[in-house]
Chains A and B, each alone.
Chain A
Amino acid sequence: MELTKEKLLGFYETMMTIRAFESKAVALFAENKLPGFVHLYLGEEAVATGVCANLGTKDYITSTHRGHGHLIAKGGKVDLMMAELFGKATGYCKGKGGSMHIADVDLGILGANGIVGAGLPIAVGAAFASKYRKSDAVAVCFFGDAASNRGTFHESLNMASIWNLPVVFVCENNMYGISLCQRDHMNICDISDRASSYGIPGITVDGNDVIAVFEAASEAIKRARRGDGPSLIECKTWRQRGHFEGDPAIYKDPAEQQSWLEKDPLPRLAKRLIELKYATQTELDQIQASAAEQIEAAVKYAESSPLPALTDVLTDVYAG
């Protein structure tokens, strides 16, 4: 697959922006500046980046409780995201949704989701709409390993298959469902095995290699766009933090954590970009500095934004 310098540095920039956003969220949460829970995407940046690099604005994604990376990779605005994490009126959900409900329909981001496995049927609905309207838009559904145990997974893959819908199911297998190791919550190790039950292709790729993810997603999305139906991509990856910020992750083997840190997707890509002379270390440092600046500006925007007015407490909510 031909990859241009622009494309490759674009991968690095997106991954670095996600890394900067999430690293800042770690610090802000520790400083008690964020009013809600955050589930961070540190270590999984290559998945969202590699997949979303194949999508346009007209395409859809559904996300998870660990959604910041997906949103940024799909073009979400980091200042509005950060304001939402702060619970401010300028945030994506006017400060009432928090991390797990961020959406931007204009960008095809159909929402993060606090319910495990809830994005699957939404993506299938979006794909059905695309097919019904004779659009060539594709829906991509991100979900985790444990979500593939839920009934929504079965119903969604079955329906997508029988209707031959343009949807790509991207399982981010980070090996743990909250604190439960994968081997303790399912009796298989490759979630791609489940695809054959629905008569669709399923593959497994190295989710910490942005090029591998990009290639796989490129083929799956092209396939869906030309009307050849759904597929399942399992990306083996690792969340470097606990399930949520504040979770000490004592259930993880330190040696396993260390071995995955050595496969961190960002240094891996950086090393190869330098080897192939696509970038110098100085250029990569500049990208990192620029990402950090962007996130600092987002924090300033969030901090200087107002809280929702008391008079709006019943606006945009179902209760009342």
Chain B
Amino acid sequence: MALVGIIANPASGKDIRRLVAYGAVFDNLEKVNIVRRVLLSLASTGIREVVFMPDYYGIVPKAAEGISEKHRLQMEVSPADICITGTQRDTLQASLLMASLGVDCIITLGGDGTNRLVAKGCGTIPILPISTGTNNVFSVMVEGTIAGLAGGVVAKGTVSGFPAVQPSKRLIVYKNGEAIDSALIDVVILKDEFIGSRAVWDVERIVQVLVTQGEPHNIGISSIAGNLQPVSAQENCGLTIDFASNGTLVRAPIAPGLIEVVQVNSYRRIMIGERVAIREAPCVIALDGEREIEVQEKDNVFVQLAFDGPQVVNIRSALHEAVGKGYSRLPPAE
């Protein structure tokens, strides 16, 4: 029987960019509403079993409880057996557990940072990332109802493989010879010393950026790549950008409502497998928009581009293919 995982991050959409930019507060009640619509759509595609990441707000249980009697779910909705810590650890643990359970698709609610953690645990299980964060490139703005339908057809095996499910790239960070973390969209090197409030918004602090993808219609730091030399999600390369004063001026939307001018010294494409050294230490490294790694002067750090990121559901392609296979047509009533 097809099994779907749901990981909804209760902490996404609440960082400092609501003060320094024009990001909206994405409250958990709205996440409940989205999950409710996802569940109803999953049920309509024949999914009968869902496992979810428990969280301190109870997003998924509240979503299930709020469904009217008329639309009552014929579905078992169970929490993943993890200990809630209220930290990033919960997302990773839930993802690892779902992988061990062999779920057929994981639907996520969060930003790129949330998906970065899911990707670290999910192996080859397809992810369907719904955006509820701030600067999202990996996760997409989509109506929950539609996301649920796409997740359902993938989990049921109605569709599989490219283009319904697409491979993705990642950037692996090595510190002193050891792979310590990875990013799905961008690695940003900041002339900072503290992780602090985590988000990245002050372009004056950026010294180097590496991206797996970046297009002019993206928002966030990867949009700088998009406005220099666009790289798509499916190209066999990424981009590395060095910043310096007196460099070429480039305008890019680095946060909601925040279109900044940055000074680019140089940029070039990087190939799969290529390693790029970090040229400033001490520094702080941000992964997918969140300051995560504090680097000391003595540390040797480099970043490597790989095409071994998570499998990602392309909602448009998945539903097109499913319709082509007749998933939406029912036998005539007798």
Interface residues of A (CB under 8 A from B): 1, 3, 183, 188-190, 192-193, 195-196, 201-205, 209, 211-212, 214-216, 219-220, 223, 231, 259, 272, 275-276
Contact = CB atoms under 8 A, between A and B. Distances in A.
Interface in B192-223: 192-198, 202, 205
A220 B57 contact: no
Interface string B2-39: 00000000110011101110001101110000000000
Given A189-B10, A220-B19, A215 B28 contact: no
**Minimum-distance CB pairs A-B, first 6:** A193-B27, A201-B18, A211-B196, A215-B197, A219-B19, A211-B194
Interface in B149-198: 192-198
Contact of B192 (A1, A192, A204, A216): A1
27 contacts: A188-B29, A189-B10, A190-B11, A190-B57, A192-B14, A193-B25, A193-B27, A193-B28, A196-B25, A201-B18, A201-B19, A203-B18, A204-B11, A209-B195, A211-B195, A211-B196, A211-B197, A212-B195, A212-B196, A214-B196, A215-B196, A219-B19, A219-B20, A220-B19, A272-B194, A276-B282, A276-B296
A223 B19 contact: yes
A202 to B, nearest CB: 5
A183 B10 CA distance: 14
Contacts of B24: 196
Interface of B: 10-11, 14-16, 18-20, 24-25, 27-29, 56-57, 85, 192-198, 202, 205, 282, 294, 296
Q: Is the interface of B mostly helix, strand, loop or mixed?
A: loop
B16 A205 contact: yes
Contact of B196 (A183, A201, A209): A209
A158 B296 CA distance: 46
Contacts of A1: 192, 196, 202, 205
Nearest to B282: A276
A3 B10 contact: no
A203 B10 contact: no
Given A193-B14, A272-B294, 7 more contacts: A1-B192, A188-B29, A189-B10, A190-B27, A203-B25, A204-B15, A275-B294
Given A189-B57, A190-B11, A220-B19, A212 B198 contact: yes
Nearest to B20: A219
Contacts of A214: 196
B28 A188 contact: yes
A195 B57 contact: no
B169 to A, nearest CB: 30
Contact of B10 (A190, A205, A259): A190
Q: Which of B196, B282, B296 has the most CB of A within 10 A?
A: B196
B27 A196 contact: yes
A276 B85 CA distance: 29
A232 to B, nearest CB: 9
Contacts of A272: 193-194, 294
Nearest to A205: B197
Contact of B56 (A3, A183, A231): A183
Given A189-B57, A193-B25, A219-B20, A202 B14 contact: yes
A276 B14 contact: no
A212 B16 CA distance: 9
Nearest to A209: B196
Contact of B19 (A190, A203, A275): A203
Nearest to A214: B196
Q: Which of A195, A203, A209 has the most CB of B within 10 A?
A: A203
A203 B27 CA distance: 11
Nearest to B201: A219
Contacts of B57: 188-190
Contact of B29 (A193, A202, A216, A275): A193
Nearest to A193: B27
B25 A195 contact: yes
B29 to A, nearest CB: 7
Nearest to B83: A255
